[in-house]
A and B are shown apart, each in its own frame.
Chain A
């Protein structure tokens, strides 16, 4: 495989958070296994959508890739360079290659910095830019994300949510990264604004050849932007494949249920379709069930599901994978 095929490699990553009790005499009670053995490869220029419900570990995985949280086990490499091995100054230098956009544009921008200051700070953190070139570069950057160059002199509070998210995207792009991790970038926005930001991200990726990891709880949003979709449940990837395949013919029982629960904005279709109503809540990652983590809520579960931990296995000719021991049985045609 060429290096473009293995642009970002995540190998058997586990991120566990210890849970302790007591102050002076700390006792370890256990660990929240937020990410529990994820292996994933992204191609250069690809958009991968990472979906799952709250608590499934999708944000922790995103932060582990960004080295904002160090993994307990496993490696993350970008273009062959291991990020997990980097420390201090060398990690800081490497950071210009991977940037992030967070969910809440109200919290992620410093209210006391003008747009110019925020973008200039990002730019100068990694690249030596002569002072007189800054205004021109920042104006070009703002134009790229659909804001007027006059915006540089203003403060975040003068902008609406959608515009702030554009500023956050501009800041991430200021250092010309190769990889962007966007964690729920449109979840805090109204529908009419969501569409604008999704289109913007898709266009930027196309034009700049960016690789994007798009994390969201909303399957319909992800479908619109992603080339491939990975579905997470309790710290593991349970299904991965080309976006259209995963949505139209999901393999894993959890993906099936997730898709059937997404409301369709079309009353006639909505009335006709069959719903899979999952019983119960997602279990706590502090105390996950044995065997397949989904088996207590699964409609297809058999006795063996409580004993065997399933691994991702390929399905059919395409690059689809799912982790369910009954995958072939329940998807036979």
Chain B
């Protein structure tokens, strides 16, 4: 049985300028130990999907319009705050892009590291500090004992992200949600952090959801990928299938527009136009106005994510109906 089942999740924000449908009808499952990538550009709804599951969407203006997120027999979208607080930070942890703003600048690192343990486990302070020390060592922080007494500003960006990871994993969660964990970091440090998450995943056997705008990061790290655009899932597949048997024109466009090192310095393929205004999503497929394959019905018919090959889902109407090669 999957560890986490998300079904038809829809989240919207009610603003003065109208309703923004940030996430619409998103469904996915996460197996134990698996790594799922959620890829999309800014405003595609990838972060809101995770925030909704974690109960972190501010309401109002946000509103969970529908759907379920089953973790065991608990629906994370409908359960009480008490129930959610027993799961969050213990069985499901999250790390964010900017480690500086996620850490409390007034508290020593040690105090922050033991907080999840003090809340979730019946443990003495000294024992918790020992666990924190061990965790910092695991996370590859040199002179960990000394570092426990330091403040966040005394750490470099990469080191802060290591602290965040140590804090998220100190309760040995079943799921780690990483929202753009390396976007603010330099590439050489990004490689270190991804390696650390992979190592910890192998040790703890946890599942990871990696949210990223970078198909490159995802292709080296995830088993399965979900591509989002304008709040909808466009395609979801095993990593190899997504790249070598692509079933959505948006995924294809994204792959081709990335400047990759191994390509010749030729003119880059571009996706014409821009992502739609979230206040005024076009009818039908949201990608249709920019899609080279779009036909009349693409701008009219409601899209749905359907399985078109084993474990391979797409919401492209033309692929579903005509098996269009993209």
Contact = CB atoms under 8 A, between A and B. Distances in A.
Partners in one complex: yes
Interface of A: 53-54, 160, 162-163, 190-196, 198-199, 202, 217-221, 223-226, 243-244, 247, 257-271, 275, 277-278, 281-282
B265 A263 contact: no
A264 B192 CA distance: 16
The 4 closest A-B pairs by CB, nearest first: A263-B216, A53-B186, A190-B41, A270-B220
Contacts of A261: 187-188, 190-191
B54 to A, nearest CB: 24
A195 B290 CA distance: 15
Q: Which secondary structure dominates where chain A touches chain B?
A: helix
A266 B41 contact: no
B8 to A, nearest CB: 27
Interface in B241-291: 243-244, 253-255, 257-263, 265-271, 274-275
**From B157, B220, B244, B255, residue with most partner A Cβ within 10 Å:** B220
B189 interface: yes
5 contacts: A162-B274, A194-B259, A226-B265, A267-B220, A270-B220
A277 B220 contact: no
Nearest to A273: B220
B171 to A, nearest CB: 27
Given A263-B220, A264-B219, A247 B261 contact: yes
Given A162-B274, A270-B220, A282-B186, A191 B258 contact: yes
A196 B259 contact: no
B26 interface: no
Contacts of B266: 224
A194 B253 CA distance: 13
Contacts of A225: 265
A243 B264 CA distance: 10
A84 to B, nearest CB: 30
A271 B186 CA distance: 21
B145 interface: no
Interface in B216-257: 216-217, 219-220, 239-240, 243-244, 253-255, 257
A264 B261 CA distance: 7
A202 B275 contact: no
Interface string B1-43: 0000000000000000000000000000000000000000110
Contacts of A221: 259
B188 A258 contact: yes
**From B188, B215, B260, residue with most partner A Cβ within 10 Å:** B188
Given A268-B240, A278-B188, A281-B159, A195 B216 contact: no
A41 to B, nearest CB: 21
A261 B193 CA distance: 11
Contact of A224 (B190, B255, B259): B259
A244 B258 CA distance: 17
B156 interface: yes
A263 B219 contact: yes
A196 B270 contact: yes
A266 B189 contact: no
B133 to A, nearest CB: 21
B260 A265 contact: yes
B288 to A, nearest CB: 15
Contacts of A257: 188
Nearest to B258: A265
A190 B261 CA distance: 18
Given A268-B240, A277-B192, A263 B259 contact: no
Contacts of A163: 274
A195 B266 CA distance: 11
A196 B271 CA distance: 8
A195 B270 contact: yes
B192 A278 contact: yes
B130 interface: no
Given A192-B270, A195-B257, A220-B259, A264 B190 contact: no
B274 A263 contact: no
A81 B297 CA distance: 62
Contacts of B75: none
A262 B187 contact: yes
A199 B192 contact: no
